[in-house]
Structure 1
Amino acid sequence: MNEQLNELFRSRIGFPADHKINFEDLSLVLEMAAKTIPFENFRIMERNTQTITKQNLLDKIVVKGEGGLCYEINSMLYLFLLENGFNVVMTRGVVFNNETKEFTSIGRTHATILLTYEGQTYLVDSGFGGNLPLTPVPLTGEIVQTSNGEFRIRKTDSEHGDYRFEIKVKHKDADWKLGYVFDSRMLLSDVTDLDELQQLIAEHELSVFNKDPLIMKLTEEGSMTLTDHSFTTWENGTMTKEEIGEARYKELLKQHFGRT
């Protein structure tokens, strides 16, 4: 086992160092990760991305205490689960835009994890912004419910893949909406395979993550999202949005995310 990776990731999310993680612990691990590791695009905005390797992910997320986008957060989680004896693989999916009712046109820009336990395969995702299931979701269509809402995965026959990840976020979604479609047959051989995905998100003109700085994380009451022009919080179903300037942005970034 990579003791450094295992111990530092546990310390980063606040999980006990000496507790052997079993399948039943995964919901707690996912919830703790969602509330401590922010979803953010700062490295892309700074044009300071690095190749996706175990050491670079370890340095960025658990040593320096930064967050990342899906391909970084889920890769870090994948490596941690692997170190703790879980049967996990990674795949890519195509995100659906529920406002335009279209799939993103720049390809498979979402990286996620598939975990197999006692003959059943589950989706494990800690890198989908505020739409996190906070528990493994079986590929059977069964609905799972967590503090963040309801989630399910249904079989599909699509050019984008063979499964649909559907979400109904608490206090936000009245009906089911499609998050993304992924292909359980197109697996990655290593986290380094995600360099192409990072390049797409960092450089493509249609990428939504290379325009403005963004940082968000889940909280006990809901979520908080900060950009350079607004601060949005959800607390027990109530949304508050504050328009901000540069000084307030820096203040909130330090106050809520410990960043400067």
Structure 2
Amino acid sequence: MDNVQQDLNRRIGMEESWSPAFAEIPVLLKAFAKAVPFENMAIIEDRLTPFSEQSLKEKILVRGEGGLCYDLNGLLYLYLKEAGFSVTLVRGVVYHQGKGDFHDIGRTHVLILLEHGGESWVVDGGFGGNIPLKPVPLTGEVVTSANGDFRIAKEDISHGDYILQMKLSYRSDEWQKGYAFDTTKPVTDLNELAEVQKTVSVHPESPFNRSPLLTKRTDTGSVTLTKGSMTEWKDGRLNKKDLDDDSFNEYRKKRFNV
């Protein structure tokens, strides 16, 4: 399995030979977000495979699963690199909206920095329901997609030198912090993500080792599945239904194929 582009294109419904130009990266991100869910079932079901480039490819491209940020952006990084883009991975700290502060778990968010046209851009297909769906420049320019407005603010703090800010469609009218990230400390070896995986899977403050979470984009919005409910946004309208265990397993297969 040496051709990530071909294999991922097949999974997301694109021609196998397709290789996106920079202007087509939003097409890639939209298709990826609809086909590859953000989900933590491998952690919840205690079937986690230690992270490596090979295990990542097998997880998403062979078994057809989704994953968390280190999986999703790890694979997108390999794809974009294979497509000829200048990309690096960096790590960030997610902002906890409820606490009004950054998570105590540390730099466990993984995202992509892409260099194009003399500028740096954030490419992030692994931020759960908060993904920008487009590259976001580090210049501070606002980028608008179906999921909301996004921008990058320069702000030197202990957690990094930039902060992703967002106004999510139908959910927020004010700018919120998403995460801080550090462009001065790139990931130099993909195997570094094994450390992120381990922290996310065992840390007591991790939000991803307690209960199931699956979410992905749809043609009309998004769908999110948890142990007790399924929440779906359709054209700006919210529909939430309670689920028992049998219904959870049914919708897990039916809507997420995981």
TM-score, scaled relative to structure 1: 0.96
SS in 2 for 1:89: strand
Letter in 1 for 2:130: N
Q: 1:24 aligned to 2:19?
A: no
**Structure 1 runs, 4 residues or longer, greater than 4 Å off:** none
The CA distance in 1 between the partners of 2:60 and 2:88, in whole Å, is 20
Q: What is the aligned length?
A: 258
- 1:140 — aligned with what? 139
Q: 1:209 aligned to 2:208?
A: yes
- 1:177 — aligned with what? 176
- 1:129 — aligned with what? 128
Q: How well do the aligned residues superpose, as a CA RMSD in angstroms?
A: 1.1
For residues 96-107 of structure 1, what are the structure 2 equivalents within 5 Å? 96-107=95-106
Letter in 2 for 1:249: F
Q: Is the CA contact (8 Å cut-off) linking 2:9 and 2:18 kept in structure 1?
A: no
For residues 115-126 of structure 1, what are the structure 2 equivalents within 5 Å? 115-126=114-125
Q: Is the CA contact (8 Å cut-off) linking 2:52 and 2:194 kept in structure 1?
A: no
- 1:152 — aligned with what? 151
The CA distance in 2 between the partners of 1:42 and 1:251, in whole Å, is 14
- 1:87 — aligned with what? 86
Query: Any stretches of 5+ residues in structure 1 without a counterpart?
Result: none
- 2:221 — aligned with what? 222
The CA distance in 2 between the partners of 1:53 and 1:201, in whole Å, is 16
Per-residue deviation at 1:169?
1.0
TM-score, scaled relative to structure 2: 0.97
Per-residue deviation at 1:51?
2.4
The CA distance in 1 between the partners of 2:2 and 2:41, in whole Å, is 28
Query: Any stretches of 5+ residues in structure 2 without a counterpart?
Result: none
- 1:242 — aligned with what? 241
The CA distance in 1 between the partners of 2:152 and 2:14, in whole Å, is 28
Q: Is the CA contact (8 Å cut-off) linking 2:5 and 2:19 kept in structure 1?
A: no
- 1:66 — aligned with what? 65
- 2:9 — aligned with what? 10
The CA distance in 2 between the partners of 1:101 and 1:33, in whole Å, is 31
The CA distance in 1 between the partners of 2:19 and 2:176, in whole Å, is 36
